[in-house]
Amino acid sequence: SEMGLALLDVADVIRPYPEVIHYLQHVKDDNFLENLVEFEGGEKTRDAIYDYLSKYGMRCPGEIDITKTRWSEKPAALIPVILGNIKNFEANASKQKFEKGLQAALEKEQELLNRLKQLPDGEQKAKETKEKINLIRNFIGYREYPKYGMINRYFVYKQALLKEAAQLVKAGVISETEDIYYLTFEELQEVVRTHKMNDQIIIKRKEEYKLYEKLTPPRVITSHGEIVTGVYKRENLPSQAIVGLPVSSGVIEGRARVILNMENANLSDGDILVTSFTDPSWTPLFVGIKGLVTEVGGLMTHGAVIAREYGLPAVVGVENATRLIKDGQRIRVHGTEGYIKIL
């Protein structure tokens, strides 16, 4: 969640400079960072964005796929989120959000320990629970480190591979650097060694990729390829309720924003994000929303974990959520019971 708070700090740097904000609102190309210096505050803005990219620029939606465009390769992808942060938050919001979250966590801890003390052998139970809370609080963040390190390395590998691909383009072996995305690693090694390439392989695989993109994968598929179907077994839900899994408690009402691509994220304070799935690259959006609905996910998938970190009611595993809920509709998200109601 630090990644989302850090982008609030970037917004704070830009906030005092109307010329820069106006310029960013009309950015179309990815060389915009170089032209920033023409405006008052432009140099500070450029440095703040570069500083952010030096820490998080290797991330992007679908980052586990090495072929996806990283933020460092296309910084304009972050502009809608930065502008949203300027519009929806006051200065110093990241510190206030962090402090507020910390305060809420400490209060909840105290409430829990006080309740435990009322039980038989309560002092001992409270002592053991306090130890566990401290352990989790101090160490849970480390689960993010392996993924961060891995994605960092992926970007280094990608740059090395594209450098090799550029040599192949120069030698006329392939027509564009992205063609190597359609080869296995062993095939690429062979092409680099022999400087010979069968164009038909790439053409065929590009066509297959386009075809596969149109397919809708099953909700559940086992390791043996078995497809399991079923419905949620839940009672006492209101009629017309859209059912999912409750993963972060609380009830919230607001405007649904159905967003399938992070670059189209035009969020206002109090909106509820409705999307197919989220991964770490979506984290900066979580700062400005009040609730979350996703089509895919479970108790420990990314969206659910971050929603709990930010204290947002969330329902995941909602089949066809992005089709059943229309952008702009007012909805109520029951994060405790695990359903959504269109108001």
Q: Which sequence positions are flagged as catalytic? A: 302
Q: CB neighbours (10 Å) of residue 334?
A: 21
Q: Where are the alpha helices (DSSP H) in the chain?
A: 2-14, 18-25, 32-35, 42-56, 79-88, 93-117, 122-139, 145-170, 185-194, 199-213, 283-286, 302-310, 321-324
Token couple for 94:
């990241």
Cα separation of 143 and 335, whole Å? 24
* Residue 220, strand partner residues: none
Collapsing DSSP states into helix, strand and coil, what is residue 184? coil
- CB under 8 Å to 251, separation ≥6 — which residues? 313, 332, 333, 334, 335, 336
* Residue 291, strand partner residues: 272
Q: Which of 230, 240, 266 is nearest to 341 (CA)?
A: 240
Answer yes or no: are the C-beta atoms of 254 and 342 closer than 8 Å: no
Cα separation of 234 and 47, whole Å? 52
Token couple for 222:
């086992």
* Residue 243, strand partner residues: 339
Token match 């992926």: residue? 154
